């Protein structure tokens, strides 16, 4: 881990500005502030990648691979080191040949979402909540994406349309046990503000829906999308929560911090979801820096996930015991608010299972023997 990997957010500005001038010299300040310009100018091919980065052999060999397409916003590309293929931001976005290797334990749909989908774009896994897939598009595609089988791929006509949404909405109306709806995809913030508002208004019109959540990485990869128009619209539909996907402390830049603070100022409770990735964020100091920076932006570290076993994910996988050790290394050495719940989203559709460190040595009807963060023993009489 280099010192530059953990540079303070303010110190990123000069580097990112330099990368912006090198990668996108034609972009004016007005264009750089326009989220639609970033979408139009996404990096979507290896020929374009090779103009910006010194590609490694592992990256070059991935050029003929199939599967999840390449898409990287100019803003997010400006965070990458053009000469270091092990740069953590770059490794999350640029394909490598390892993606084409399939291990026996890997599958296209490791969480068996298709089997728990009463409708093509609605997953009903837990009794009181549903996952509502609004789109299969993202501004930037993470190489470890759980839904790489569908995200960015050609799909059946009509899957992600208002007609399909209307069927989902009717299902939610018919199932009064559903009190929580998570909008995901793809990334719901890829929708126009008007379209997203239509969907939120429809959900808010269902009496038994108590809360709506949006799962998104856009404040991290395309912070320009978080406009005053967007936040003014979102704040009309409380209680509205947002789960931010964030992986590395270098992602928390002045631009992303501003976007997150705008959302928090709109009264939206923010939580982060971080996938534990080998060679990217599997060190306690990196995680602590990430979680501290998120807290400064009023984002509560919510979940830390083991990598879902999609096809070609082996090079990202961190042993579960190491993940438990990382959480243990945080406990007692930082605020409780800075420590997420470490979970595995169970293969086969079993849902999220906490797998954090165990602090109980023994328990009976009279007492509990516990270890604290320094491994000292304590007894609690019950």
Per-residue DSSP letter, 206: S
- Catalytic residue (one of 90, 91, 125, 213): 125
- Catalytic residue (one of 91, 129, 225, 288): 129
Collapsed DSSP state (helix, strand, coil) of residue 16: helix
Phi-psi region of 298 (alpha: psi -120 to 50; beta: other; left: phi over 0): left
Radius of gyration of the chain (CA): 21
Tokens of 140: 């930037």
Tokens of 223: 């912070």
Tokens of 84: 């270091």
Between CA 217 and CA 303, with CA 164 as vertex, the angle to 5 degrees is 30
125 is an active site residue: yes
- Catalytic residue (one of 12, 142, 246, 297): 142
Contact status, residue 111 vs residue 146, Cβ threshold 8 Å: yes
345 is an active site residue: yes
Tokens of 251: 């992602």
- Catalytic residue (one of 308, 309, 328, 342): 308
Phi-psi region of 186 (alpha: psi -120 to 50; beta: other; left: phi over 0): left
* Distance (Å, whole) CA 110 – CA 379: 41
Tokens of 377: 């023993």
Q: Which residues are CB-neighbours of 170 under 8 A, at least 6 positions away?
A: none
- Catalytic residue (one of 48, 126, 300, 303): 126
308 is an active site residue: yes
300 is an active site residue: no
- Catalytic residue (one of 60, 352, 359, 371): 352
- DSSP string of 308-365, one letter each residue: P--TT-GGG---HHHHHHHHHHHBTTB-GGG-PEEEEEETTTTEEEE-----EEEE-S
- Catalytic residue (one of 12, 92, 138, 246): 138
- Catalytic residue (one of 81, 109, 282, 345): 345
Beta bridge partners of 370: 360, 378
In Å, what is the CA distance from 170 to each residue of 119, 129, 204, 335?
Answer: 11, 14, 13, 43
297 is an active site residue: no
176 is an active site residue: no
**Angle formed by the axes of helices 284-296 and 254-265, nearest 10°:** 50
- Catalytic residue (one of 145, 246, 297, 307): 145
- Catalytic residue (one of 91, 147, 149, 213): 147
Give me the active site residues, please: 125-126, 129, 138, 142, 145, 147, 308, 345, 352
């Amino acid at each position: 881990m280099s010192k530059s990997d953990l540079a303070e957010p303010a110190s990123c500005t000069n580097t990112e500005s330099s990368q912006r001038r090198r990668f996108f010299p034609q972009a004016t300040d007005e264009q750089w502030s326009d989220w639609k310009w970033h979408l139009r100018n996404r990096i979507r091919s290896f020929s374009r990648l090779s103009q910006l980065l010194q590609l490694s052999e592992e990256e070059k060999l991935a050029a003929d691979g199939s599967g999840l397409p390449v898409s990287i916003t100019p803003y997010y590309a400006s965070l990458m080191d053009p000469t270091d293929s092990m740069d953590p931001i770059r490794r999350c976005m640029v394909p490598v040949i390892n993606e084409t290797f399939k291990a026996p334990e890997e599958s296209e749909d490791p969480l068996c979402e298709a089997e728990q989908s009463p409708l093509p774009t609605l997953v009903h896994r837990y009794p009181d909540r549903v996952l509502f897939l609004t789109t299969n598009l993202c501004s930037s595609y993470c190489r470890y994406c759980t839904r790489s089988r569908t995200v960015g791929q050609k799909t059946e006509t009509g899957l992600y349309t208002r007609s399909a949404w209307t069927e989902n909405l009717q299902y939610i109306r018919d199932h009064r046990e559903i009190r929580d709806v998570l909008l995901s995809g793809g990334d719901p913030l890829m929708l126009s503000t008007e379209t997203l508002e239509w969907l939120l208004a429809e959900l808010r019109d269902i009496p038994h829906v108590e809360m709506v959540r949006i799962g998104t990485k856009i404040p991290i990869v395309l912070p320009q999308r978080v406009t005053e128009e967007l936040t003014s619209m979102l704040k009309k539909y409380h209680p509205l929560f947002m789960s931010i996907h964030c992986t590395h402390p270098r992602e928390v830049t002045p631009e992303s911090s501003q976007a997150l603070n705008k959302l928090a100022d709109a009264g939206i409770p923010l939580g982060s979801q971080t996938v534990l990735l080998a060679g990217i964020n599997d060190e306690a100091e990196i995680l602590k820096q990430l979680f501290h920076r998120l807290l400064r932006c009023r984002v509560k570290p919510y979940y830390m996930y083991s990598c879902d076993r999609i096809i070609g994910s082996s090079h990202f996988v961190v042993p579960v015991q190491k993940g438990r050790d990382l959480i243990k290394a945080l406990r007692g050495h930082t605020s409780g608010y800075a420590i997420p719940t470490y979970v595995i989203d169970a293969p086969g559709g079993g849902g999220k299972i906490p797998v954090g460190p165990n602090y109980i040595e023994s328990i009976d009807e009279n007492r509990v023997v516990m270890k604290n963060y320094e491994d000292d023993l304590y007894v609690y009489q019950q």
